């Protein structure tokens, strides 16, 4: 749900809840095959439930994809984000 109730309806378990001012996050887990990235995006405004504009969603997606190659928000991160 876009409300951020923190419940995974499929697996019936508690998940991370996004604060209202966060449009997305990238959760990285590690396996024998390498890093696995789960990108979570907010598509609706948390209070009004109106769809967010395309630019906000696309920009957030680029930001989270850049975190797949660079963690900290430094010059290398912003270069990766610009390339995406």
**pLDDT tens digits, one per residue of 5-27:** 454 555 555 566 778 888 999 98
Query: Distance of CA 13 to CAs 16, 37, 75, Å?
Result: 10, 19, 37
Task: Quote the pLDDT of residue 19.
Answer: 83
Task: Quote the pLDDT of residue 1.
Answer: 45
Element (H, E) at 60: helix 54-66
**pLDDT tens digits, one per residue of 61-83:** 999 999 999 999 999 999 999 99
Task: Quote the pLDDT of residue 41.
Answer: 92
Under DSSP, the state recorded for 72 is S
Task: Quote the pLDDT of residue 27.
Answer: 87
- Contact between 81 and 63 (Cβ < 8 Å): yes
CA dist 52 and 24 (Å) reads 12
Instruction: Output the pTM of the full model.
Output: 0.76
């Amino acid at each position: 749900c876009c409300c951020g109730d923190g419940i995974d309806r499929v697996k019936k378990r508690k998940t991370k809840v996004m604060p209202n001012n966060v449009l997305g996050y990238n959760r990285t887990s590690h396996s024998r095959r390498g890093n696995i990235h789960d990108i979570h995006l907010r598509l609706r405004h948390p209070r009004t439930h109106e769809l967010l504009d395309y630019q906000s969603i696309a920009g957030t997606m680029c930001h989270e994809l850049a975190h797949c190659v660079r963690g900290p928000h430094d010059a290398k991160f912003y270069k990766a984000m610009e390339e995406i």
